[in-house]
A and B are shown apart, each in its own frame.
Chain A
Amino acid sequence: MGRYILRRLLIAIPILFAITLIVFSIQQLSPGDPLNAYLPPDFAVPEAQKEAMRKQLGLDKPFLTRYGYWLKEAVQGNLGTSIRTHETVVHAISSRVGATLLLMGTALFVGTLLGVIFGVVAAVRQYSILDGFLTLFAFMGISTPVYLTGLLALYVFALRLGWFPAGGYSTPGQPFSVVDRIEHLILPAAIIAVNYIAQTMRYTRSAMLEVLGQDYVRTARAKGLNDRIVIARHAFRNALLPIVTLIGASIPALIGGAIFIESIFGWPGVGRLLLSGVEARDYPIIIGITFVLAIVTLVANLATDVVYAFVDPRIRLD
């Protein structure tokens, strides 16, 4: 297994390299440079001034020179400086990743837990009223765009009912308090969690249904085993594989955040940083975040594959 992991890690290096080159090129192709994003459309700026700005931003250098420079620095852990705020990219990401981890971690944890429970229940009671209700809920959860649910939730729970603050990360000007943070966390985390619940539930339900129809489950039942043990030990453990895949695929979002929800709720996370980076054509930020996400994704995929071997001993990695 050690050799397998090493080999996978080595393959990851050229993949990462290719990803950065592609992102850098796409960024290059997108219309408008950071200067175009910086200036309002009706502002007259003399050419000399524009040249000075371009030079300061390093935009006067050819594409490959800029990429080469970026790569050299990136290898040494320096991802450059934001064009808009002059913050270092490493600092910009690291100072926001905590907020994103809190939001996405809460949502993923709650979402997976409830999703698995609902999925198992729905499968065991297939075609019951409960199953129908949960399936309907899952469809709605998957089909409703989060920017709609986000605004609706703000309107209903913050404005009409006044249960939660209307967005934000903390009450401005107040010293930090855990209660305050949780109050701000509940709405956005719940909306993202609903999506996770819906997804996880659907996967769990279909995986469970497949397993429940297998011979060994029937055998276990025929042996006269307690139904609860059959479901928990024989069926659920074998249905875990797709759930592990799903969780593995969600890991990058823990770092990448949720662009829409973070924007609607004013949550100072990585997703929002990426969106404002794109709007400002702030390419060090865009590429920096993509680079970090690429690393996390590669590692998460590897980790998922390794976990497979534990969950299902029939899988051999070597």
Chain B
Amino acid sequence: MQWIGIVALMIGLIAPSVALAQDSSPESGGGVLIGAFDVGPGGCPECPNPLQAGAGFTWYEKYFSKLMLYTPDFSEIQGELAESWELNEDATQYTIHLRDGVLWHDGEPFTAADVKFTIETAAHPDSASYIGAKFVGVTSIETPDDLTVILNLDEGNVTLLDAFTFLVMLPEHALADISPADLTTSSWWLDNPIGTGPFKWKAYEPGQYIELEAFEDYWRGRPQLDGIINRFFPEAGSSVIALRSGDIQFTYMTLDEALGLEGEEGLSVIAGPSQVLNYLGFDLTDPRFTDQRVRQAFMYAIDRPTIVEQLYGGQATMANCGFILPQFVPDGLNDYAQDVEMASQLLSDAGFDASQPVEILTYYGDQLSQDVLVTIQQFMADAGVNVEIRVVDVPTYNQITPDPEQWDITFAGAANGPDPDVLSSHFESIESNPSVLNRSNIKDDQLDALFADGRSTVDTDARAEVYQQICQIMNDQVYWAPLWVATRFGGASDQIENFVWVPAPGGGRYYDQAELWSLAA
């Protein structure tokens, strides 16, 4: 137990400098920030277990921490609880150096054993964690000392760094006695979860809010705020009213709501790319869509710039393949400028049977998406294709889509960042990777090889080149008709200082410096 003494000594040495650093910053009012952190697609209100949640990371990161996070512009991954890391040259071994002096909310030190415990728990099948599933390739975890973790992988995979931005660290000392299966349903998550984040658990009022309070011993120093509250809004529109009336200081907003907020005194609209690609996904087991020319005809028929301009008010970026980040997009892509004649020609060349209607299935029930689909319907009618629209809810969509008999084309969204490999699960063939989510049934050996290549290429530039090739194939083959990446919005009171929030699929996963947020008096 000597290390406890050492850690305590180091904290003793570090603490005064932290205190000094705080003293030099301007005195701020403290206060308690109330936000609707789980409103919108990035939120997961009252989801107790972050290992099983698909969203809600903005909020989880207020009390839990990860080893790594993206920078707010998502251009690179930076250390959080990890101070640094090295990958061997074929990305089969990760050596992670942990930050010294990090404490759990109950005062215990954070160590390599916690990292090992977290990864093993998450990857255990009984945890039923899709995040944990990203770590199944880890064959062994070594902890040579309290601040070093070495992961050995069965095959090269650089995307584990991205996976670490999903994985909240869990305290072994509090959870070691609970089996992974019991942990999934444990009351611990909503009772008194222990993290290493800037705020610690204070109260949970079911159906109302979760309240956190400042963690005095946070490793970056005590947060400026005294506390932070996540209020739940089952009806999203109500959260904007609460923001405008001053009851809360932050919420996610839709495009319409953001436009309505323009010029409102004391409030700011924050806009950023959603990192979600909207696309038309073809059922490639349907003989009508096996011909590349038919799929291209859809691209030529739909006037995407007009939709983006008229319906999105310019708040979307055109996509000509799965990616829009410049490093992954090669020069000379076909931009499929609208050409109805070309579309009709391609359809007739391919012998497309226009007598049968084509159904577009979507889970987007909002007004904007309905307008978009009706417009697409009109464009397709001009090219001689009779499109019908079917809107279902997400559970129904998830149940229908694995069965190609039940749908023709989907209008959906898929995260296309921050790491480009996120699209691999949609494009890799089931034959090459049984755990993928390839609803379109894409089978392209070249894509399979390139995605595998992208995962094992360590050098950033070489890796980007791989995704440029992938982008080129997506643009040419149109297995999905890529449409655009829309902008998403948040609204924040000008009372909040140093506030950092950007939209992200599933929310969070970037360093938002929450410990510096403060409320002006």
Residues of chain A with a CB closer than 8 A to B413's CB: 41-42
CB-based contact B206/A158 at 8 Å: no
Q: A40-B54, A56-B126, A56-B185 are in contact. List 4 more A-B contacts (CB 8 A).
A: A87-B206, A263-B234, A266-B208, A269-B207
A277 to chain B, nearest CB (A): 12
A254 to B59, CA, bound (A): 34
Task: Contacts A173-B34, A173-B211 given; indicate if A56 touches B395 (C-beta within 8 A).
Answer: no
CB of A216 within 8 Å of the partner chain? no
CB-based contact A36/B394 at 8 Å: yes
CB of B209 within 8 Å of the partner chain? yes
CB of B233 within 8 Å of the partner chain? yes
Please name the residue on chain A nearest to B428 by beta carbon.
A44
B263 to chain A, nearest CB (A): 16
A215 to chain B, nearest CB (A): 53
CB of B133 within 8 Å of the partner chain? yes
Task: Contacts A56-B181, A266-B232 given; indicate if A86 touches B242 (C-beta within 8 A).
Answer: no
Residues of chain B with a CB closer than 8 A to A84's CB: 46-47
CB-based contact B241/A159 at 8 Å: yes
Residues of chain B with a CB closer than 8 A to A263's CB: 234-235
> Which residue of A46, A56, A162, A172 contacts B208 across the interface (Cβ within 8 Å)?
A172
Please name the residue on chain B nearest to A32 by beta carbon.
B395
CB of A195 within 8 Å of the partner chain? no
Please name the residue on chain A nearest to B392 by beta carbon.
A31
Selected interface stretch from B21-29, B333-341, B349-357, B397-405: B397-405
Residues of chain B with a CB closer than 8 A to A85's CB: 46, 48, 190, 206
**Number of residue pairs A-B, CB distance < 8 angstroms:** 181
**Binary CB contact string for chain A from 257 to 272 against chain B (1 if under 8 A, 0 otherwise):** 0000011111111001
Please name the residue on chain A nearest to B180 by beta carbon.
A52
Selected interface stretch from B72-80, B99-107, B310-318, B430-438: B430-438
A260 to chain B, nearest CB (A): 8
A99 to B205, CA, bound (A): 12
Which residues of B, 206-245, contact A by the 8 Å Cβ criterion?
206-209, 211, 227, 229, 231-235, 237-238, 241-242, 244-245
CB of A292 within 8 Å of the partner chain? no
CB-based contact A40/B395 at 8 Å: no
Residues of chain A with a CB closer than 8 A to B163's CB: none
Residues of chain A with a CB closer than 8 A to B399's CB: 31-33, 36
Please name the residue on chain A nearest to B46 by beta carbon.
A85
A/B interface sample: 10 pairs, CB < 8 A: A32-B399, A36-B398, A43-B130, A52-B127, A159-B241, A166-B238, A172-B229, A173-B211, A262-B234, A264-B237
A269 to B205, CA, bound (A): 12
Please name the residue on chain B nearest to A272 by beta carbon.
B234
- Tell me the B residues contacting A by CB distance below 8 Å: 32, 34, 46-48, 52, 54-55, 125-130, 132-133, 136, 181, 184-187, 190, 205-209, 211, 227, 229, 231-235, 237-238, 241-242, 244-245, 247, 276, 363, 392-401, 412-415, 425-426, 434-437, 505-506
CB-based contact B128/A172 at 8 Å: no
A265 to B181, CA, bound (A): 36
Please name the residue on chain A nearest to B398 by beta carbon.
A36
CB of A169 within 8 Å of the partner chain? yes
> Which residue of A37, A45, A264, A265 contacts B395 across the interface (Cβ within 8 Å)?
A37
CB-based contact B238/A52 at 8 Å: no
A99 to B242, CA, bound (A): 20
**Binary CB contact string for chain A from 184 to 226 against chain B (1 if under 8 A, 0 otherwise):** 0000000000000000000000000000000000000000000
Which residues of A, 117-165, contact B by the 8 Å Cβ criterion?
151, 154-155, 158-159, 162, 165
Please name the residue on chain A nearest to B238 by beta carbon.
A167
Residues of chain A with a CB closer than 8 A to B46's CB: 84-85
Please name the residue on chain A nearest to B127 by beta carbon.
A52
CB-based contact B241/A166 at 8 Å: yes
CB of A106 within 8 Å of the partner chain? no
> Which residue of B133, B209, B398, B436 contacts A172 across the interface (Cβ within 8 Å)?
B209
Please name the residue on chain A nearest to B124 by beta carbon.
A52
A214 to B209, CA, bound (A): 57
CB-based contact A172/B207 at 8 Å: no
Residues of chain A with a CB closer than 8 A to B436's CB: 44
A194 to B454, CA, bound (A): 62
CB-based contact B435/A168 at 8 Å: no
| Most chain B CB inside 10 Å of its own CB: which residue of A159, A167, A272 | A167
| Most chain B CB inside 10 Å of its own CB: which residue of A84, A86, A169 | A86
Residues of chain A with a CB closer than 8 A to B237's CB: 151, 264
Residues of chain B with a CB closer than 8 A to A273's CB: 207
CB-based contact B398/A41 at 8 Å: yes
Task: Contacts A31-B392, A266-B231 given; indicate if A45 touches B130 (C-beta within 8 A).
Answer: yes
CB of A275 within 8 Å of the partner chain? yes
Please name the residue on chain B nearest to A170 by beta carbon.
B208
CB of A178 within 8 Å of the partner chain? no
CB-based contact A41/B394 at 8 Å: yes
